[in-house]
Amino acid sequence: MSDVISPRIAIIGAGVIGLSIGWRLAQRGAAVTIFERDAAGQGASHAAAGMLAACAEVEPGEERLFALNRQSQALWPAFAAELEAASGMAVDLRREGTLVVALNADERARLQHHLEFQHQLGLTLDVANFYWWGHPLQDLYGIYEKFAPRVVHTHCKNIHYPDDKKNVRREMGWEYAKYNCPIYDGDIDFKRLTGILRQANYSGDLCVEDESLSKFPETERAEVIKKEIAVLKKLA
């Protein structure tokens, strides 16, 4: 008989963060009780309208926070896919970006100033996002070439679509949860990609962001990551 006692955890607030933390703790064997004075998700989570707009909302002086926010935002698609699989409910995560509109000259001037500030921050290249968006595989490398001079950080992940879906325009996010995969098994040619980045004098990291790990037994996931890291090291 095991002497290990599962911890008992109390969480105040049943918003997105409270529920997410509670779910993760419960997955690891904790006994979790979440307290909420109103209906779940109707506090700060509801007020924020579910937006993940790290780039659109960053302000001068928040450069270090911006980097953290971008990393956090990048983790959400895999988390959403896992949550959908566990609950059987659609999360309705949308990744088409944020449209910011100026209604007068003053707002236009502010947006222009904000745009110049964003350009100084550079871009995070999320390698598979253009493929996820629906762009044909053959068009991706021209897109990478266009943005490469401004890239300061790269998230590496991949998708392996059926042959008849690779070079056609697909619906945004089409069957992503089914076809996402480790970077070494997908359609995107990382040797070609890293060549494009090198040509643009990219000197940042190549960060593994494998959103397919939940498809593997937990005991195998570390080996998958190690194999991906080895692939990128050979290309870096």
Q: Provide the H-helix boundaries in 162-217.
A: 163-166, 176-179, 190-199
User: Measured between alpha carbons, how far is 160 from 212 in angstroms, rounded to an integer?
Assistant: 11
Confidence bin at 71 (pLDDT 50/70/90): confident
Please write the tens of the pLDDT for every residue from 152-174: 889 899 999 999 999 999 998 89
User: Measured between alpha carbons, how far is 62 from 19 in angstroms, rounded to an integer?
Assistant: 27
Question: For 185, left (φ over 0), alpha (ψ -120 to 50), or beta?
Answer: alpha
> For residue 2, is pLDDT > 60?
no
User: How wide is the angle at C-alpha 208 spanned by C-alphas 207 and 211, nearest 5°?
Assistant: 135
Where are the domains positioned within the chain?
1-50, 53-235
**Burial of residue 46 (number of CB atoms within 10 Å: 0-12, 13-18, 19+):** middle
pLDDT for the residue 78: 82
Q: Where are the beta strands (DSSP E) in the chain?
A: 8-12, 31-35, 123-126, 151-156, 158-159, 180-181, 206-208
Please write the tens of the pLDDT for every residue from 17-43: 999 999 999 999 999 999 999 898 888
Lowest mean pLDDT among 106-115, 169-178, 193-202: 106-115
pTM here is 0.60
* Percent of the chain scoring above 90 in pLDDT: 46
User: Measured between alpha carbons, how far is 158 from 180 in angstroms, rounded to an integer?
Assistant: 6
User: How wide is the angle at C-alpha 93 spanned by C-alphas 92 and 99, nearest 5°?
Assistant: 115
Q: Three-class SS of residue 169?
A: coil
User: Measured between alpha carbons, how far is 221 from 34 in angstroms, rounded to an integer?
Assistant: 30
Give the count of alpha carbons within 13 A of 181, CB side only.
Answer: 14
Q: Three-class SS of residue 153?
A: strand
- Supply the mean pLDDT for the chain: 88
